Amino acid sequence: MSAAYDFAHSPATEFMSRPQHLLIDGRRVPASSGRTFKSLNPATGQVIAIVAEGNEADVDHAVAAARRAFEGPWRTMRASERGQILLRWADLLKAHAEEIIELESIDAGKPIAATSRQDFPAAVDTLIYYAGWADKISGDVVPVRDDALTYTVREPVGVVAAIVPWNFPLMIGMWKLAPALACGCTIVMKPAELTSLSALRIAELALEAGLPAGVFNVVTGPGRVVGDALVNHPDVDKVTFTGSPGVGRGIMKGAASNFKRISLELGGKSANVIFDDADLEAASKAAASGIFFNAGQVCSAGSRVLVQEKAYDEVVERLAARAKSLRIGDPLDRKTVLGPVISEKQMKSVLDYVDIGRKEGATLVTGGEKVGDRGYFISPAVFANVAHEMRISQEEIFGPVVSVIKFKDEADALRIANGTAYSLAAGVWSRDIGKLQRFAKRARAGTVWMNTYGYTDVRLPWGGERDSGLGREHGTAALDNFTEPKAVWMNLAV
């Protein structure tokens, strides 16, 4: 990001000043109802854009466009050509990096330094990675018998509904877009109502890169209307969703109407376990980052820090010191570490949990207060003396609130770590490699970090079980999400 970048007269602010219409069949069009909604800057509470409010009719038009594109130019295109289009799209994203990063920062309240360091590069990396897969998705020859040629092929699922959350709209959006497109699927995306802007902008750039009309459509609007219409639509073949377990359960019910395939990445209440023989400085630093990054609005946030008895007081002290040192402020300031939570509703929910923690008998060591007179900023909160059974230990808060829980030994740590409805991720800190391996083997988590916390890479599978969802994103697992295997049997005894 250039030091001389002019935020007041930037391409991002110019883009936000335009009417944010839907993108259907290669064109930006108003919602069929003519209705719109306001998009707010979480740092100020001010209106930054007017966005089209789609409805069932708009979903019908978008799905029809996606179906035509799937049966026509996209499915029949050479796989290598699809990959080249995705690579051109990646080049355009990089050429517009400053604009997209600023847009994401303003729309989602994300500190621009973190967005430029993590979110944007990860989105581009995902697109390039799956562009490379486009012409490498193959089947197998299976020698069943001598008088037959028997083999498998992997074909695209079809029309995909991609429902994207507000915490990482650009990055998680690309986690769904890139593999689906590489596999030859077409997409109708519903971005979160709170963060619709980056999806609309990158969709424009996809068209510029040569993506045929109808391959990638964006319908903005409320989940209870647009999301429900996609989930229940008879011509949608698959739903990929990231969000809450409650909505995930509703998607499972809706998908039963035509037995849609689904993949769900849902909530988390991840345990970050620190044994007393760990490097406590490194563990405490990573634990703070693991919960306070993106204001705690991360599915895999280490919101439960489990500390062995001898190290407990020291870790609490270190976490509180780090929480107090974090710079809270304008997301467009590159020195800002902690931005706002996404909305007034989310701020109230987080502050309610702080009150719940106090009432349950936990000790609020620091933070947990609204900061400033505008926007949705919350000071990072550290709770000590948290019992495993408390609500702040069991329920996903999705804000900058950490519960520090004491444990006795390995068995106790494992009992507490596995003792929630979630299973997305876990971390463990120790100098004893045997202890690390035993924990990793027994932890109910889709990802286990050892002596680190929070890293992800598109080349590794990502997801969980139980209330953390089903299926995996990333790596080759994502290719399975968007393809169907077909067996072919050719009689040679003719």
pLDDT tens, position by position, 394-409: 999 999 999 999 999 9
Quick one: the chain helix, strand, coil %, rounded to 5? Answer: 45, 20, 35
Task: State how far the Cα of 236 lies from the Cα of 230, in Å rounded to an integer.
Answer: 7
Q: What is the pLDDT of residue 7?
A: 56
pLDDT reported for residue 64: 98
Instruction: List residues bridging with 344 in a β-sheet.
Output: none
pLDDT band at 8; cut points 50, 70, 90: low
User: Percentage of the chain with pLDDT > 70?
Assistant: 98
User: What is the per-residue pLDDT across 432-477, written as a single tens digit (0 to 9) for each?
Assistant: 999 999 999 999 999 999 999 999 999 999 999 999 999 999 999 9
- Least Cα distance to 99 among 26, 7, 195, 27 occurs for 7
Neighbouring CB atoms inside 10 A of 369's CB total: 12
Write down the residue that tokens 């998680």 correspond to: 172
Q: Give strand ranges (E) for 401-460.
A: 401-407, 425-429, 447-450
Mean pLDDT for 57-82 is: 96
Residue 6 has pLDDT above 60, yes or no: no
DSSP secondary-structure letter at 77?
Answer: S
Question: Which residues are tagged catalytic?
Answer: 265, 299
**pLDDT tens digits for 327-374?**
999 999 999 999 999 999 999 999 999 999 999 999 999 999 999 999
pLDDT, mean of residues 284-292: 98
Mode of pairing for the β-strands spanning 36-40 and 159-163: unpaired
* Band (278; pLDDT cuts 50, 70, 90): very high
- Joined tokens for residue 333: 């300031």
Mean pLDDT calculated for residue range 9-15: 88
Residue type, 147: D
pLDDT tens figures, 123-162: 999 999 999 999 999 999 999 999 999 999 999 999 999 9
Helix residue ranges per DSSP H, 165-196: 169-182
The 10s digit of each residue's pLDDT in 172-199 is 999 999 999 999 999 999 999 999 999 9
Tens digit of each residue's pLDDT (9 = 90 or more) over 91-121: 999 999 999 999 999 999 999 999 999 999 9
Radius of gyration over every alpha carbon of the chain, rounded to an integer in angstroms: 23
pTM: 0.94
Per-residue model confidence (pLDDT) at position 5: 42
Write down the residue that tokens 């250039």 correspond to: 2
Q: What is the DSSP string of 204-230?
A: HHHHHHTPPTTSEEE--S-IIIIIHHH
Question: With 50 as the cut, is the pLDDT of residue 4 above it?
Answer: no
DSSP readout, 79-134? HHHHHHHHHHHHHHHHHTHHHHHHHHHHHHT--HHHIIIIIHHHHHHHHHHHHHHT
- Which run of H or E residues covers position 396? none
To the nearest 10°, the Cα dihedral for 234, 240, 243, 244?
A: 60
> Do 261 and 442 contact (CB within 8 A), yes or no?
no
- From CA 322, how far away is CA 430, in angstroms rounded? 21
**Amino acid in position 467:** D
- pLDDT band, residue 494 (cuts 50/70/90): confident
d(CA 454, CA 394): 20
Q: What mean pLDDT do residues 233-260 have? A: 95
**Residue 1 scores a pLDDT above 60:** no
What stretch of H or E contains 485? strand 483-491
pLDDT of residue 3: 38
Angstrom distance (rounded) from CA 453 to CA 271: 10
What type of residue is 427? G
The helix/strand/coil state of 365 is: strand
Is the pLDDT reported for residue 295 higher than 60? yes
Q: Give CA–CA dist 90/74, Å, rounded.
A: 18
Q: What is the mean pLDDT of the chain?
A: 96
